[in-house]
Chains A and B, each alone.
Chain A
Amino acid sequence: MLKRAQALFLSLLSPAIALAMAGGVSAESATRQLNMPQGVTEVSQAAYDIHMIMMWICTVIGIAVFGFMFYVMYAHRKSRGAVAANFHEHHVVELIWTIVPALILIVMAIPATSALLKVYDTENADIDIKVTGYQWKWQYEYIGEGVKFMSELRTSQDEIYGRAPKGEHYLREVTQPLVIPTGKKVRFLITGNDVIHSWWVPDFGVKRDAVPGLFTAAWAKTDVPGTYVGECTELCGIGHAFMPVVVEVKEEAEYNEWLAGKKEEAAIYKSTIGKEWSFDELMVRGEEVYERSCAACHQSDGNGIPGVFPALKDSPIALGAKEGHIAVLIDGVAGTSMQSFADQLSEVDIAAVVHYERNAWGNDVGDITQPVDVLNYKQGQ
């Protein structure tokens, strides 16, 4: 019976796998990882070790218990002429199977405790990075360095909705990854801006909830350069699956170079904020920003989701005065999920997306919103 069902299942499965291949899932990317990664930090190694210890203990107990059970099911079946005994108590046996598991638990508690102590050892960090969860992106701030940026999903809506083939790094790519150096103890100070998110990098063994109003700490130190991908693991709304974590670990010299570049970028940006942008330049940049930061709620066609996320097409705000429109992005709308984008988007990006929203989907206001307008609004506050 069981065998037949298995054969049936396999025959069901083979066309399914063929379908998956045809659907653009390459055999190479579809690795079948079965176990927890060992990762590249002391903490991830500790988690892996305790995981394996527990798994082996459970496996051994499982084989013993189920083995005995299957023996009973085979040997003491009525069809083999088994006659039921009538015992229903045995105090010594009952005592043994209460005490022995308790002892096993005490033994397990020892490595479990030492592993947890490692996780909580966040003192004496070399570098502090503030990680803030936003709906639906991460912000990284290098404390004391004046470097701060947003890290957003780079996979396009077209790939997600099957209008374009899915790339190799589908949902595992971001606009700007977090970069940390090898050989340094990095402390992550994690918080949330709107709802609760959770910042997870499996290869670091780091998972901490990003709770608004609360800072939690985690740490990582590794000698292995590379790119490590993680996820948001606390349900945070419709973009929950679309805010991956990508961390690049670089050699120290390379890291310093990158950090210097970031500082320079910020300086250059500040000096060019007064530049006049053309109508079309703003449309192109605005569409990019819109797809990345707005389309999840307000939708690519500007129609929103009725009752949850208002339409921007023909909306009084988009068709009204420019200042009012900028105000919504800078201040957010209290009591709704429209948050303030003042810290999330640069002045140029806010100007571009306001301009785009005022001139896309038949919202033909025709005016131009310059970065300086945004700056003026911010300074006027």
Chain B
Amino acid sequence: MAHGPATLADGWGKYISRWVFTTNHKDIGTLYLWFSFAMFIMGGAFAMIIRAELFQPGMQLIKPEFFNQMTTMHGLVMVFGAIMPAFVGLANWLIPMMIGAPDMALPRMNNLSFWILPFAFAILTSTLFMEGGGPNFGWTFYAPLSTTYAPDTVNYFIFGVHIMGASSIMGSINIIATVMNMRAPGMTYMKMPLFVWTWVITAFLLVAVMPVLAGAVTMMLMDINFGTSFFDAAGGGDPVLFQHVFWFFGHPEVYIIILPAFGVVSQIIPTFSRKPLFGYSSMVYATAAIAFLSFVVWAHHMFTVGMPIAGELYFMYATMLIAVPTGVKVFNWITTMYRGSLTFETPMLFSIAFVILFTFGGFTGMMLSIAAADMQYHDTYFVVAHFHYVMVAGAVFSGTAAVYYWLPKWCGKMYNETMGKVQFWIAFIGFNITFMPQHFLGLAGMPRRYADYGLQFADWNMVSSIGAFMYGGAQILFLFNVIRTIGWGKPTDDPQVWEGAEGLEWTLPTPAPYHTFATPPEVK
């Protein structure tokens, strides 16, 4: 029988080396999750600074220079530091347990792919304290603002992005290798839980597009330091080329973020409906269709750049198509609930909110796909509202749901249900107060990434800021509830944890032992 992990009782040295050298998928999952939560708090703090400055018209707290660094860092940290690692953490914890594998296929690479991440973000954040300040060109870092006109620290940013990309690629290869090779006997592809399916598809997307991002930042590096002119019109280059390359990465990237969230919700809704997921195979096909479409719609982020009309029409039609597979998913979730036996524990509340708010974000997404209307929406707060509905109410809500759902299995203790529900309602209401008015601001004409605005936008900005502080407060409650659960939660040893839970991970003892499925289970 395998030995257990070092605990604090073995001394600090042993305890620290356990985490630094660990190749255990559960330990690495835990590291990913804590890291992503730390980044979530940091990115959230940046957002609070942004909303505090925008509370009233005029520059009160910070200067435009720092404001631009905050919007840029908020985006980068949330996308690459909080959401993506959070789902990799969940994948690490859950995929082996869901497919009946003892660990990930490539455990040492797993360790490496995590441990380079903190360095990437240390490099990125350290630029805030350097002369010239951090990246200030938006998370989309359009050239030439991010090349000729960028502060010198942009080189640190490029290095950081390279490391994050390497980490993501390694993590993805690991997931693909694990799922292809380590499924328990009888666990055919079409029997895999949907979370595993969505992650495999996500991993393929990541392997395909992360090198494209690396290419984009490498071209920037060459333009800045080695006199090339990829993106410099004066040297025969084209700034629009940057946008094509960036969004060829960037659009699949948003599905990379949302597909695992779909997976999480597809696990949770059946559990609390006490009824199997409706349309399992159509869910799998819809996920694959969304992933395919994500490669062929990138220029809908560039409707105002002056493309020929044929290009505009093609990207408009292709984008509208995404509504079909996405609609299938939403209908499946709701039909799963139909004639179920519903209860509303915290994970279910977050999942239902996910379905409603993500669908709302999908509606605005469909409006944005209409090129002629997008000419008015583009780069306004309408877009900010749209992608926060899909990113926050989509990815973050589902991540929160996942933590509440699997936490008892991980640590063998129950979280405080009342506190979870209070957190949900504060987060849900705060979120909508923050982002619903931003639709109005955008339609009324307020562009995004504005450090200051005209008086006609004052009221809704103030409302939005109040909502943001509320939403921020809910996260503190979340952190408190998680720590309280791990330290002082009510112990439970029910393997099932939830009445309606199905799947291999719920056949394991609670809390899940350090090593699981040393001998593979038989799946019928």
Residues of A within 8 A of B (CB): 1-2, 5-6, 9, 12-13, 16-17, 20, 23, 25-26, 29-37, 43-44, 46-48, 50-51, 54-55, 58, 61-62, 65-66, 68-69, 72-73, 76-79, 82-90, 93-94, 97-98, 101-102, 105, 108-109, 112-113, 115-120, 135, 159-162, 166, 168-172, 190, 194-196, 198, 200, 202, 205-209, 211-217, 229-242, 296, 305-308, 335-337
Tell me if A161 and B59 are in contact (CB < 8 A).
yes
**CB<8 Å pairs between A and B, sample of 18:** A20-B458, A29-B455, A30-B455, A36-B373, A37-B444, A48-B376, A72-B337, A78-B274, A89-B280, A112-B371, A170-B454, A196-B145, A213-B233, A233-B379, A237-B136, A239-B64, A308-B133, A337-B148
Which residues on A sit within 8 Å (CB–CB) of B91? none
Q: How far is the CA of A97 from the CA of B343 in the complex (A)?
A: 27
Q: How many whole Å from B211's CB to the nearest CB in chain A? A: 25
- What 8 additional pairs, Cβ within 8 angstroms, besides A43-B375, A120-B309, A230-B445? A69-B334, A84-B273, A109-B320, A113-B313, A160-B58, A207-B379, A209-B306, A241-B453
* A47 and B148 contact, Cβ closer than 8 Å, known pairs A30-B456, A66-B356: no
Q: Residue B360 contacts which of A36, A62, A169 (CB distance < 8 angstroms)? A: A62
Q: How many whole Å from A333's CB to the nearest CB in chain B? A: 11
Q: How far is the CA of A25 from the CA of B376 in the complex (A)?
A: 26
Tell me if A88 and B342 are in contact (CB < 8 A).
no
Q: How many whole Å from A199's CB to the nearest CB in chain B? A: 9
Which residues on A sit within 8 Å (CB–CB) of B444? 33-35, 37
Residues of B within 8 A of A (CB): 56-60, 63-65, 68, 130-133, 136-138, 142, 144-145, 148-149, 151-152, 233-234, 237-240, 273-282, 304-306, 309, 312-313, 316-317, 320-321, 323-324, 327-328, 330-331, 334-335, 337-344, 352, 355-356, 359-360, 363-364, 366-367, 370-373, 375-376, 378-380, 425-426, 429, 433, 440, 443-456, 458-460, 462-463, 466, 470, 500
Q: How far is the CA of A329 from the CA of B267 in the complex (A)?
A: 63
Q: Residue A213 contacts which of B239, B316, B375 (CB distance < 8 angstroms)? A: B239
Tell me if B425 and A62 are in contact (CB < 8 A).
no
Q: A interface, by DSSP: helix, strand, loop or mixed? A: mixed
Q: Residue B367 contacts which of A58, A87, A159, A232 (CB distance < 8 angstroms)? A: A58
Q: How many whole Å from A275's CB to the nearest CB in chain B? A: 36
Q: How far is the CA of A89 from the CA of B355 in the complex (A)?
A: 20
Q: Residue B239 contacts which of A26, A33, A212, A296 (CB distance < 8 angstroms)? A: A212
| Residue of A31, A34, A65, A116 contacting most chain B CB atoms (<10 Å) | A116
- For the complex of A and B, the 7 pairs showing the least CB-CB separation, nearest first, are A213-B233, A216-B306, A307-B131, A307-B132, A115-B372, A33-B444, A58-B363
Tell me if B144 and A195 are in contact (CB < 8 A).
yes
Residue of B nearest to A230 (CB): B445
Tell me if B341 and A1 are in contact (CB < 8 A).
no
Q: How many whole Å from A107's CB to the nearest CB in chain B? A: 11
Tell me if B58 and A34 are in contact (CB < 8 A).
no
* A65 and B359 contact, Cβ closer than 8 Å, known pairs A25-B455, A72-B342: yes
Which residues on A sit within 8 Å (CB–CB) of B379? 198, 207, 233-234
Tell me if B372 and A50 are in contact (CB < 8 A).
yes
* A84 and B340 contact, Cβ closer than 8 Å, known pairs A170-B57, A216-B306, A230-B445: yes
Q: How far is the CA of A93 from the CA of B279 in the complex (A)?
A: 10
Tell me if A97 and B331 are in contact (CB < 8 A).
yes
Q: How far is the CA of A306 from the CA of B321 in the complex (A)?
A: 49
Tell me if B342 and A195 are in contact (CB < 8 A).
no
Which residues on A sit within 8 Å (CB–CB) of B132? 306-308
Q: How many whole Å from B375's CB to the nearest CB in chain A? A: 5
Tell me if B380 and A233 are in contact (CB < 8 A).
yes
Residue of A nearest to B280 (CB): A88
Tell me if B327 and A97 are in contact (CB < 8 A).
yes
Q: How far is the CA of A23 from the CA of B60 in the complex (A)?
A: 12
Q: How many whole Å from B205's CB to the nearest CB in chain A? A: 23
Tell me if A30 and B320 are in contact (CB < 8 A).
no
Tell me if B145 and A237 are in contact (CB < 8 A).
yes
Q: How far is the CA of A205 from the CA of B359 in the complex (A)?
A: 27
Tell me if B238 and A116 are in contact (CB < 8 A).
no
Q: How far is the CA of A306 from the CA of B375 in the complex (A)?
A: 38
Tell me if A89 and B445 are in contact (CB < 8 A).
no
Tell me if A69 and B355 are in contact (CB < 8 A).
yes
Q: How many whole Å from A311's CB to the nearest CB in chain B? A: 13
| Residue of B130, B342, B359 contacting most chain A CB atoms (<10 Å) | B342
Which residues on B sit within 8 Å (CB–CB) of A230? 445
Q: Residue A51 contacts which of B151, B367, B429, B460 (CB distance < 8 angstroms)? A: B367
Q: How far is the CA of A102 from the CA of B64 in the complex (A)?
A: 45
Which residues on B sit within 8 Å (CB–CB) of A29? 455-456
Tell me if A89 and B278 are in contact (CB < 8 A).
yes
Q: How far is the CA of A168 from the CA of B398 in the complex (A)?
A: 44
Tell me if B305 and A171 are in contact (CB < 8 A).
no
* A241 and B64 contact, Cβ closer than 8 Å, known pairs A77-B343, A308-B133: yes
Q: How far is the CA of A90 from the CA of B227 in the complex (A)?
A: 61
Which residues on B sit within 8 Å (CB–CB) of A5? 425-426, 429
Q: How many whole Å from B344's CB to the nearest CB in chain A? A: 8
Q: How far is the CA of A69 from the CA of B320 in the complex (A)?
A: 24
Which residues on A sit within 8 Å (CB–CB) of B306? 190, 208-209, 211, 214-217
Q: How far is the CA of A242 from the CA of B337 in the complex (A)?
A: 50
* A240 and B64 contact, Cβ closer than 8 Å, known pairs A31-B456, A50-B372, A97-B327: yes
Which residues on A sit within 8 Å (CB–CB) of B316? 109, 112-113, 116
Which residues on B sit within 8 Å (CB–CB) of A48? 376
Q: How many whole Å from A71's CB to the nearest CB in chain B? A: 9
Q: How far is the CA of A240 from the CA of B233 in the complex (A)?
A: 21
* A16 and B304 contact, Cβ closer than 8 Å, known pairs A58-B367, A105-B323, A233-B380: no
Which residues on A sit within 8 Å (CB–CB) of B64? 238-242, 296
Q: How far is the CA of A50 from the CA of B368 in the complex (A)?
A: 11
Tell me if B305 and A216 are in contact (CB < 8 A).
yes
